[in-house]
Amino acid sequence: MIKDIIKLLPAAAVVLAGCSNPKTQSSCSDEDRFVDSVVNSLTIEQKIGQLNQISASGVEEMEKLAAQGLLGSILNESNLDNLHRIQKAAIDNAPHIPILISRDVIHGYKTIFPIPLGQAASFDPELVRHGSEISALEAASDGIRWTFSPMLDIARDPRWGRIAEGYGEDPYLTSVMGAAAVKGYQGDDLKNPQSIAACAKHFVGYGAATGGRDYNSTFIPMRLLRNVYLPPFRAAANAGCATYMSSFNDNDGVPSTGNKLILTDILRNEWGFDGFVVSDWFSIGEMINHGFAADMKDAAAKAINAGLDMDMVANAYVDHLQDLVKEGKVKESKITEACKNIVRIKYRLGLFENPYPTIPQSVKYAGEHLVAALKTAEESAVMLKNNGALPLKNAKKILLCGPMADAPHDQLGTWVFDGEKEHTVTPLAAFKQSEYDVTYIPGLTYSRDNNTSKFAEVVRAAKSADAVIFVGGEESILSGEAHCLSNLNLQGAQSALLAALKQAGKPVISVIMAGRPLTITDDLKNCDAVLYMFHPGTMGGEALVNLVSGKVSPSGKTPVSFPKNAGQIPVYYNQNNTGRPASGHEILLDDIPAEAGQTSLGCTSYMLDTGFGPLFDFGYGLSYTEFAFSDFKINQTEFTSDNDIIEVSFTLKNTGSYDGAEVAQVYVRDLVGSITRPIKELKGFKKVFLQKGGSESVEISIPVSQLKFYGLNDVEVLEKGSFDIWVATSSANKDIKWKTTIEVK
């Protein structure tokens, strides 16, 4: 195929092909020659056609556009036959350039994995990589070769519905998980028909939407952008991520879709990215709403000149770029450059040789895929509380209740287009297959249900059960894009049902399926155990039975801080110390005497009603077993170069009576800096599985370069001075197992 296309090109174009890829300027590769030969042979209309992405609207319409060369990419079509027809129309007609077929494969295609926030809770990057690899294989079987994933937006505000789609509040955890996802989707070679191009989104700062309201403006100063919001995207670039997506938000007055500083100066000139950038849905046109562009033509000029290569569904480029070139407002070379970026990724995907899928349909829901989804769901569950009710030891008669106990659609979570609820294994379905004698009375029919008429029946059934398993949380529609909440308590009458169940006098195990951390503060007293599964995907029910039965011990850790109430937001672990740090002994609301003197309390950074810390700290999670840490060692305590490696080692022993896994976390604190630095930052972690009684020597290496940060004048620095470093099982000081101080000299 590639030879056929070259044959079609004017000889001059092939001869003239020089080295256009800025990344490989020094050595003109076959890729560069091919890309140049294809693009240099195109008319300006054909070049602009490559910059155009359309949302599928009828296969005939798409065929026509493809045949006209006006369709660089398509989204929202996943029918194999339709995609074949559209692709054939593009291949059979000049300029014979294959279409890049895309889809939102966010946490699975057919086999649905836990939402990314849940996957982050596994603290197991290999699971994330493998899940993305499976998702790519299933999607590629329908001809989809580009996904709009991973989402790398740091989120410190769970009111924002899209916290569900990312990997939480921490830059390091998000960087590790995002890079794993990129590797999973793209594999070792994009040309492999099972690989699909990844897309790091939403570039950048989208998760800092003011007030947690989606699409709202962000005001992230450059240093915070560099030190918190950009690192995961830089990690994706280092992992070879093929594409990026500009975010909807305006940051400090500049919409990302028209922001040359991030799209060109940082992404390309600093990080050496040579793929292409797609706008988010119609975000070129939204620059008019922002008041940043006067009209669509102005928006098109601002976007292409900032370095935005592909226009998702605004039609701005096809409608205006030619005129803008004639008017001298856009150089044709910008269009040529954008076109080459896109053709380069199509070349790397092997689309010129293999534009049609070759993977059997049998890969969808394959047995090994469901097993992988099960393992991920098991490892994504975080046990937040357990007073001994779990695992179910002598309980045989189970009352299963709650609005999410048999919710096959909602259990899958947000951003699921192709996964079918018929394949979902719900808790009810799994318990029916188990050795338990289960009685199922939902009590509430959906998460927002306020009908308490069934409560008496549920409580009666609870009294004759050995244990109660309540499965609640939120419907999938309550998180995800544009689904933000100002109140994060359990919806509907769920808390009332938990309070009623408490009266039955039997152990109550609460299982929460949600797209965000919910403020379950007042529910805890009514729960003997809490398992937080986020939205666990297709195999969530079977994972739940394996967890409560003790077949698998919970091993998840919170990827976000859980606020006590919405008023406490934002609350995150890696905050600065402030000039008046809370001591942890502050006087709280109920302890304040009447007529308290003006300076008798407060004077440190905390809230009178909620105190200082969150309900659950970042990195927290319980297990059925216990672990002992010993023999801590560090290779040295003085370092002189950012090429040095800090090596912390220790022995970990499973001293309990269950097999299980612990996540050893390494945090650092830069004690004095040229700018104020966070009180702690996660810089390494390792999840270690140990059989009961087993032990293992564990080593965690941290490059000294990870102590660098962007200080004054937007320069990345490694500053001399003292750093505390410690190993812990959560970000809370009470979970520190070992601590020392190192010096950078």
Least spacing, CB of residue 75 vs ligand GLC, in Å: 6
Contact 140, 196 (CB under 8 A): yes
Which CB sits closer to ligand GLC, 197 or 690? 197
| Dihedral over alpha carbons 354, 356, 360, 365 (to 10 degrees) | 110
Whole-number Å distance between alpha carbons of 399 and 411? 19
Which CB sits closer to ligand GLC, 109 or 281? 281
| Closest-CA residue to 512 (of 695, 329, 382, 656) | 382
Which CB sits closer to ligand GLC, 201 or 677? 201
Which CB sits closer to ligand GLC, 250 or 280? 280
Instruction: Name residues whose C-beta falls within 8 Å of residue 81's C-beta, 6 or more positions apart in sequence.
Output: none
Least spacing, CB of residue 211 vs ligand GLC, in Å: 18
677 binds ligand GLC (CB under 6 A): no
Least spacing, CB of residue 601 vs ligand GLC, in Å: 45
Whole-number Å distance between alpha carbons of 687 and 729? 10
Whole-number Å distance between alpha carbons of 461 and 441? 8
Catalytic residue annotation: 280
Binding pattern for the stretch 474-493 against ligand GLC, x by CB under 6 A and - elsewhere: -------x------------
**3-state secondary structure labels for all residues of 283-315:** CCCHHHHCCCCCCHHHHHHHHHHHCCCEEECCC
The two tokens of residue 466 are: 């050995």
Residues 165-204 contacting ligand GLC, CB under 6 A: 201
Q: Please state whether beta strands 645-654 and 695-703 pair in parallel, antiparallel, or not at all (unpaired).
A: antiparallel
Least spacing, CB of residue 107 vs ligand GLC, in Å: 13
Contact 547, 381 (CB under 8 A): yes
Using CB under 6 A, which of 185, 229, 244, 281 touches ligand GLC?
Answer: 281
148 binds ligand GLC (CB under 6 A): yes
Q: Please state whether beta strands 73-75 and 52-55 pair in parallel, antiparallel, or not at all (unpaired).
A: parallel
Q: Which CA distances in Å does 70 have to 74, 95, 288, 312, 355? A: 11, 10, 24, 13, 17
Which CB sits closer to ligand GLC, 414 or 665? 414
Binding pattern for the stretch 114-133 against ligand GLC, x by CB under 6 A and - elsewhere: --------------------
What crossing angle do the helices spanning 125-140 and 171-186 adopt, rounded to 10°?
40
Least spacing, CB of residue 281 vs ligand GLC, in Å: 4
Q: How many residues lie near ligand GLC (CB under 6 A)?
A: 7
Map residue 35 onto helix, strand or coil.
Answer: helix
Binding pattern for the stretch 60-89 against ligand GLC, x by CB under 6 A and - elsewhere: ---------------x--------------
| Closest-CA residue to 504 (of 449, 456, 471) | 456
Phi, psi of 495, rounded to the nearest 5 degrees: -65, -35
280 binds ligand GLC (CB under 6 A): yes
617 binds ligand GLC (CB under 6 A): no
Whole-number Å distance between alpha carbons of 430 and 432? 5
Which CB sits closer to ligand GLC, 263 or 335? 263
Using CB under 6 A, which of 104, 157, 659, 681 touches ligand GLC?
Answer: 104
Contact 555, 510 (CB under 8 A): no
Whole-number Å distance between alpha carbons of 312 and 74? 9
Least spacing, CB of residue 285 vs ligand GLC, in Å: 13
Binding pattern for the stretch 689-728 against ligand GLC, x by CB under 6 A and - elsewhere: ----------------------------------------
The two tokens of residue 586 are: 């502050």
Q: Which CA distances in Å does 455 have to 322, 427, 489, 504, 520? A: 66, 20, 19, 11, 20
Least spacing, CB of residue 109 vs ligand GLC, in Å: 14
| Closest-CA residue to 731 (of 541, 597, 573) | 573
Least spacing, CB of residue 148 vs ligand GLC, in Å: 3
Least spacing, CB of residue 312 vs ligand GLC, in Å: 7
Q: How far is CA 640 from the centre of its chain?
A: 35
Which CB sits closer to ligand GLC, 104 or 298? 104
Which CB sits closer to ligand GLC, 184 or 507? 184
State the first-to-last Cα distance of the chain, in angstroms, to the nearest integer.
58
Residue in the shown chain whose Cβ atom is closest to ligand GLC:
148
Least spacing, CB of residue 147 vs ligand GLC, in Å: 9
The two tokens of residue 559 are: 């990827």
Which CB sits closer to ligand GLC, 112 or 324? 112
Q: Which CA distances in Å does 478 have to 339, 425, 631? A: 38, 21, 47
Which CB sits closer to ligand GLC, 79 or 464? 79
For ligand GLC, the binding residues (CB under 6 A) are 75, 104, 148, 201, 280-281, 481
